[in-house]
């Protein structure tokens, strides 16, 4: 039915969840009516309410993780880690709010004082992705509610059940129902919510194409806050390291964790030409050992399927397109179950490709680029419109100093994967990866705006110059 949203398990194809499509007008209207009383509550009340939310999620963690695993296809161990991040977000956000948006006094002259305080925007829309259907939208929702906003959340049409479960946890904790609304639907409902005159801002995580369209739409609405996190074409550079196995493990973790469905996943391996062949051989050996399976399999899989058959088909077509443009397959993209979206990771050497497409292939495909010197490696790392994450694997500190200084990315790592960002640090990038509104710890910055007040207990004023004598 067109007025009903269905969710299926990627690993099995089984129907998981169904729910009527929401009316964005109705949901925004309820939020507009509810946000002012919520904002008027003492901060301590909102903090305690959100701490109750963390306890509710903790109590329901196994059911929540099971649902996320089934709906996304990710392994149960990874879904449990996501739920733990949802719980941890509350205390992190309380600390961030106190540090970045707290009330404070500023010294002033002539017996007056300057007060710095923050106000909520009002009603904030949150558009969530499917790869982390609880953790990533929750990273917007918690700081938004903490600041006193009401939230209208639209989960991805590919993971609506996980989004609905998240909202149920908020309501069970005592967040007023009008202050946390959910819009179930597809692209049409998302577009209607983003364009709704009743919202005061939009917090988005998703593709660059959608983010750029949102940026254009909000260009004539400077009164509304817009925070964009749009992924990346991320490089991992391997240079001057004797431990090929560890380097290969870091590459595999960067490129193939979550079936490559992370915005921080490594899409490009840039490597010294002299060590490319043994490194690729070692990566291939590790891929041979990777378990690709269903969320609840025993032994536990390293990665599950991609989100659906459409995504698997697009990735297969993208790999073939890279081959047609001159890429040399180092490991073909395999689909072991024809009617299910399981993929065995692939690698392709694109060094000699005349024109490499600067796109985010959101899946387990790693492009390999061989270079002759470290300057060329940095140039290749920066040869993208994106700028989210970059990592260097090297035993030479001086090379990392150069890499950190010259790499154009919001996350620059050393001997660590490109992914796995910490929630207690800012998260964001440059170029097509965002609009300079980093999330995670810095989400407090876009969930409230500063108000500066010059104050005195009594009015005193005089004009000391420019008046005629009486």
Considering only CA atoms, which of 319, 320, 336, 214 is closest in space to residue 260?
319
* Range(s) within the chain of domains with CATH label 3.40.605.10: 4-230+434-455
CATH superfamily of 4-230+434-455: Aldehyde Dehydrogenase; Chain A, domain 1 (3.40.605.10)
364: its two tokens: 């387990």
pLDDT at 13: 97
> Mean pLDDT by 10-residue block, N- to C-terminus, for the chain (470 residues)?
88 97 98 97 97 98 98 98 98 96 82 89 98 98 98 98 98 98 97 98 96 96 97 96 97 98 98 98 98 98 98 98 97 96 98 94 98 98 98 97 98 96 92 96 96 87 89
* pLDDT for the residue numbered 1: 43
Q: Are 281 and 271 in contact (CB under 8 A)?
A: no
Give all strands (DSSP E) within 131-200, no chain letters. Answer: 150-154, 180-182
- Find, among 42, 23, 20, the residue nearest to 31 by Cα: 23
Beta bridge partners of 114: 106, 454
Residue 50 region, left (φ>0) first, then alpha (ψ -120 to 50), else beta? alpha
Spatial distance between the Cα atoms of 406 and 86, rounded to a whole number of angstroms: 34
C-alpha–C-alpha distance, residues 350 and 353, integer Å: 5
In contact, 279 and 238? CB cutoff 8 Å:
yes
| pLDDT at res. 280 | 98
242, 377, 365: which is closest to 312 by C-alpha?
A: 365
Between β-strands 448-455 and 113-120, what pairing exists: parallel, antiparallel or unpaired?
A: antiparallel
Q: Where in the chain is the domain with CATH 3.40.309.10?
A: 234-414
| Domain at 234-414, CATH homologous superfamily | Aldehyde Dehydrogenase; Chain A, domain 2 (3.40.309.10)
Interstrand relation of 4-8 and 15-20 (parallel, antiparallel or unpaired): antiparallel
User: For residues 87 and 174, is the Cβ–Cβ distance under 8 A?
Assistant: no
pTM above 0.85, yes or no: yes
In this structure, are strands 426-427 and 123-127 parallel, antiparallel, or unpaired?
unpaired
Give 429's contacts (C-beta < 8 A, 6+ positions apart).
Answer: 229, 232, 386, 387, 388, 389, 409, 410, 411
pLDDT score recorded for residue 110: 67
- 110: CB partners within 8 A, 6+ apart: none
**Which among 201, 185, 141, 144 is positioned nearest to 166, based on CA atoms?**
141
Catalytic residues: 229, 263
């Amino acid at each position: 039915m067109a007025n009903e949203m269905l969710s299926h398990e990627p690993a099995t194809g089984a129907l998981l969840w169904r729910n009527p499509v929401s009316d964005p007008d109705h949901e925004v209207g309820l939020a507009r009516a509810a946000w002012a009383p919520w904002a008027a509550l003492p901060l301590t009340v909102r903090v305690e309410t959100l701490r109750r939310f963390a306890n509710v999620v903790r109590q329901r963690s196994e059911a929540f993780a099971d649902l996320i695993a089934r709906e996304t296809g990710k392994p149960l161990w990874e879904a449990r880690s996501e739920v733990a991040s949802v719980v941890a977000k509350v205390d992190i956000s309380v600390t961030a709010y106190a540090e970045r948006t707290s009330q404070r006094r500023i010294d002033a002259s002539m017996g007056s004082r300057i007060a710095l305080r923050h106000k909520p925007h009002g009603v904030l829309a949150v558009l969530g992705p499917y790869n982390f259907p609880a953790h990533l939208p929750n990273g917007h929702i918690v700081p938004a509610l903490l600041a006193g906003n009401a939230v209208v959340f639209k989960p991805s049409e590919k993971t609506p059940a996980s989004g609905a479960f998240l909202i149920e946890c908020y309501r069970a904790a005592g967040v007023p129902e009008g202050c946390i609304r959910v819009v179930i639907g597809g692209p049409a409902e998302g577009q209607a919510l983003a364009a709704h005159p009743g919202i005061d801002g939009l917090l988005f995580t998703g593709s660059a194409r959608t983010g750029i369209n949102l940026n254009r739409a909000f260009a004539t609405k400077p009164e509304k806050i817009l925070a964009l996190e749009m992924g990346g074409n991320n490089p991992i550079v391997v240079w001057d390291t004797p431990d090929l196995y560890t380097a290969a493990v870091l590459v595999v973790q960067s490129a193939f964790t979550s079936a490559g469905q992370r915005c921080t996943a490594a899409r490009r391996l840039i490597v010294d030409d002299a060590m490319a062949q043994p490194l690729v051989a070692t990566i291939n050996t590790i891929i041979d050992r990777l378990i690709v399976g269903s969320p609840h399999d025993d032994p536990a899989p390293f990665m599950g399927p991609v989100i659906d058959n459409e995504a698997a088909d697009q990735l297969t077509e993208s790999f073939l397109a890279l081959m047609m443009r001159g890429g040399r397959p180092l490991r073909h993209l395999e689909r072991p179950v024809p009617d299910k979206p399981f993929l065995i990771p692939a690698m392709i050497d694109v060094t000699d490709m005349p024109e490499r497409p600067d796109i985010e292939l959101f899946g387990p495909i790693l492009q390999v680029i061989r270079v002759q010197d470290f300057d060329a490696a940095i140039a290749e790392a920066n040869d993208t419109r994106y700028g989210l994450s970059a990592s260097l694997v090297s035993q030479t500190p001086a090379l990392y100093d150069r890499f950190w200084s010259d790499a154009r990315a919001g996350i620059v790592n050393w001997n660590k994967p490109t992914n796995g960002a910490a929630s207690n640090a800012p998260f964001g990038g440059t170029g097509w990866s965002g609009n300079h509104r980093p999330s995670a710890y810095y989400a407090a910055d876009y969930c409230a705006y500063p108000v500066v007040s010059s104050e005195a207990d009594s009015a005193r004023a005089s004009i000391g110059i420019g008046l005629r004598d009486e």
